[in-house]
Structure 1
Amino acid sequence: MSEPDVLRILGKNVGLGQSAKVSFNVAKLHTQNTIDVPVIIERSKKPGPVVLITAGIHGDEVNGVEIVRQIISKGLNKPKRGTIICIPVINVFGFIHLNREFPDGRDLNRVFPGTSAGSLASRVANKLVNEILPHADLVLDFHTGGANRFNAAQIRIIKDDPYLDELANVFGAPFVLYSKNLSKSFRKTCFKSGIPILLFEGGKSSYIDNSITNTAVNGTKRVLHHLNMLGRNFKVSQPKKPCIHLLDSKWIRAKYSGMFKATISINSEVTKGDILGSITDPYGSFNHFVKAPNNGYIFNINESPIIYQGDAIFHISTKVKP
């Protein structure tokens, strides 16, 4: 895509070398108070790629919001060429109450590309897809695990896309997880639009983890440096270890209800039969050890102290790219 001299976004013209903060408004609160979703645009005088950086599609995923906040506060979003568009909180309605969904009960990440006459979530998706996404050459979208499940820092991409493989390796998260694009998700819509997207997962909902945040911010710096967009004042660190590419995985589910405690750490490589945690009862009469069903890496752990039979408690890789 050839970057225009003047970028018209949400009714505002932004020229090369200019900065702008525009509002992404779709609806008011029931009290008639307006809700502004800030869209922060930074353009270099030198043309180049347009990178869209988003978070908060789910309102309770505050770690993603913190990542984009740091990208802005550190000035990483001021490119030496091209344009960077940041939307730190897309679902500001949910963010106010730390709810995953919109007030209409819908999951924004299951209604894309949306419609202009649909539900509230559908209208937000539609406006994002039609008025902002077409400008982007690359999307970096930040998420966390949900329901007390802590995700290892990971990039999720589809298989057999050399450019996404390249960018995922540049980002340098501990894991690259190959997964299908879910129907009606933002990632699926980007794919259909021909716009490459790196989806970052790390941490859990309603929680900010410094290690996860640092991994994501450093990964963003590497990608921007790779695109020759990172400002000259920033240093780029190399990942401590090469990315591990997870080709397939499965959830380990609780065989019993009870009090749960993981004894293995996130990111750990385990061997079949290793003890990962235990399920007990409040009365000290029952203790069940959860064991690894196969060799692999643990990249998600349920941190809820109380679980029920069938709950997902560990995500383990079953096949790793050589």
Structure 2
Amino acid sequence: MKKQPFQLIGTTIPAGRKTIVNLETARLHTHNKIEVPVIVERSKNDGPVLLLIGGIHGNEINGVEIIRELISRKYNRPTAGTVICIPALNVFGFLNQTREFPDGKDLNRMFPGTQNGSMASLFAWNLMNNILPAADYIVDFHTGGGNRFNSSQIRVAKEHPELQELAAIFAPRFIVTAADREKSFREAATKLGKKILLFEGGKSLDIHNRITQRGVNGVLRLMNHLGMRDYSAEIAAMPAVDPIIIRQSTWIRARHGGMFRFHVKDGAKVMKGDTIGSISDPYGEFEKPVKVPENGYIIGLNHSPIVYQGDALVHLGKE
């Protein structure tokens, strides 16, 4: 619980007010400052602090859209506690529609960062030291990289059962057991004792309405559970979701290069031997089926029409 006064980036956040503060990230080579807007909605009543982050990878637009939707519909206004929204964290990548920082670094492999490192490392340090200490709970929104479309899923490490429970409350299509990646934001936040959920859904440079709605619904369920606002009426109107727990996953890879067409939807349950797509040459000489080697669920799907031998085609999750 956060008691008065509540400060963020040197600014006192008054109770019952919306406040926008700027996280200064760095300066361009033109010496222009680049600042990231941080939107804070603080209730008059004490309660948890929920941090919502999108766009750690600048081209993962669907996470930005989820937070934008929450703000647009004023769902981020709690009746207890505080909601901090950072829709587009990697503003450099967002402007350029690229995954990386201008220094070529993947921000999500630079945490906890340093004051004397690369631009991405300095930015990670600023986030860890100026924003993260205020948060109790975090939802970090991502999409699949490149042409990989992910079904809505929360990824949590098996050694954090309390996060498994929060993931079930969020109620995505899948809850995927996945270890924290070294130097990721999730790993750094966990080491500081923060309760963080990593949401995956959709693909890069794309907005998918189904993924957006599932992300929004998940945040409303989480806020309702944390006692931050009563969303029981909205939750009652949502489709019932019983998340499927994925304990293991593997990628089915292309045995041939060529033109890839898939015959299955993301999230579908498939059985060993099912044909889920085909790969052909562009001249009509051959067409090879892509079959599933074991039972599972399609938790990720390559939308690229052209693949090379060895490319990942389908992410198969197993209960």
- Shorter chain as denominator, the TM-score bin is over 0.9
Q: Give 1:98's aligned residue.
A: 97
Q: CA offset at residue 233 of structure 1?
A: 9.3
Identical counterparts, % of pairs: 50
- TM-score calculated relative to the size of structure 2: 0.97
| Cα gap change, 1:241 to 1:8, in 2 (>3 Å) | closer
Name the CA distance, whole Å, in 2 between partners of 1:125 and 1:220: 24
- Deviations 1:69-120 (CA, angstroms, capped at 9, x unpaired): 0111111111010011111111000100110000000000000000011111
- The answer to whether the Cα contact below 8 Å between 2:224 and 2:232 also exists between their aligned partners in 1 is no
Q: Give 1:291's aligned residue.
A: 291
| Cα gap change, 1:234 to 1:100, in 2 (>3 Å) | farther
Q: Give 2:62's aligned residue.
A: 63
Name the CA distance, whole Å, in 2 between partners of 1:239 and 1:3: 33
Name the CA distance, whole Å, in 2 between partners of 1:198 and 1:189: 13
Q: CA offset at residue 239 of structure 1?
A: 4.4
Name the CA distance, whole Å, in 2 between partners of 1:185 and 1:240: 32
The alignment partner of 1:273 has SS state of coil
Q: Does 1:211 align with 2:195?
A: no
Q: Give 1:249's aligned residue.
A: 249
Letter in 2 for 1:283: Y
Q: Does 1:120 align with 2:119?
A: yes
Name the CA distance, whole Å, in 2 between partners of 1:262 and 1:7: 51
Q: Give 1:39's aligned residue.
A: 38
Letter in 1 for 2:301: I
Question: Which residues of 2 match residues 1-322 of structure 1 at below 5 A?
Answer: 2-230=1-229, 235-237=234-236, 238-318=238-318, 320=319
Name the CA distance, whole Å, in 1 between partners of 2:7 and 2:226: 23
| Cα gap change, 1:256 to 1:28, in 2 (>3 Å) | same
- The answer to whether the Cα contact below 8 Å between 1:18 and 1:43 also exists between their aligned partners in 2 is yes
- Deviations 1:255-283 (CA, angstroms, capped at 9, x unpaired): 11100011111111011000011000100
Q: CA RMSD in A?
A: 1.2
Give structure 1 stretches of 5+ with no counterpart: none
Q: CA offset at residue 234 of structure 1?
A: 6.2
Letter in 2 for 1:183: E
Name the CA distance, whole Å, in 2 between partners of 1:24 and 1:259: 45
Name the CA distance, whole Å, in 1 between partners of 2:90 and 2:35: 11
Q: CA offset at residue 313 of structure 1?
A: 0.6
Matched positions, count: 318
The alignment partner of 2:25 has SS state of coil
Detail structure 1 runs of 4+ shifted over 3 Å in the superposition: 231-234
Point out the more displaced range, 39-48 or 8-17. 8-17
Name the CA distance, whole Å, in 2 between partners of 1:289 and 1:18: 58
- TM-score calculated relative to the size of structure 1: 0.96
Q: CA offset at residue 305 of structure 1?
A: 0.4
The alignment partner of 2:247 has SS state of strand
Name the CA distance, whole Å, in 1 between partners of 2:304 and 2:162: 37
- The answer to whether the Cα contact below 8 Å between 2:75 and 2:220 also exists between their aligned partners in 1 is yes
- The answer to whether the Cα contact below 8 Å between 1:173 and 1:239 also exists between their aligned partners in 2 is no
- The answer to whether the Cα contact below 8 Å between 1:259 and 1:281 also exists between their aligned partners in 2 is yes
